[in-house]
Structure 1
Amino acid sequence: MNGKAILENVRRYRAIASLYRQTAAFRPHQRLSLLEQAHAWEDRALAELEAHFTLGESKVSPLQTWMVQAASWPMLNAA
């Protein structure tokens, strides 16, 4: 995946995180869950960037890297 595609994915992930945070402001009963989702999307954006810059041209994709990290998030797996 090229650099522009990586940055576009990161932009999208952060936009989704922002929407979760905005929604949390108006739904107090779901606030914690929504903020956890926002945090998960931010983590996905960071994983995408880290994978791009640390893996270089290896055969492991950023999505595979994120999936391994996501498996360790108990709240996301419970949802």
Structure 2
Amino acid sequence: MTKREKLFLKAQWHPENISFQELEVLLQHHGFRRVKTNSGSHLKWRQLEKDIVYMAPRRNPMKSIKEPPGNIVSL
């Protein structure tokens, strides 16, 4: 299992324990170019059942990661 797969599982099962840096790596791996956290655009995310849903600032649509890295992921 790769580091990214372990990170994905950690985000899925223990989202309260994931750091912002780990979340940023995971998001970049799944298609987000850059994650900004200035005062005007905070990234919000939550876990829905087995999916992880990331709600980015207004300009970016909501994206859902349904399978661990290595598989085909619909974003």
Q: From the two aligned structures, give the one with the greater helix fraction.
A: 1
Q: From the two aligned structures, give the one with the greater strand fraction.
A: 2
Smaller-chain TM-score bracket: under 0.3
How does the TM-score come out when normalised to structure 1?
Answer: 0.25
- Larger gyration radius, structure 1 or structure 2: 1
How does the TM-score come out when normalised to structure 2?
Answer: 0.26
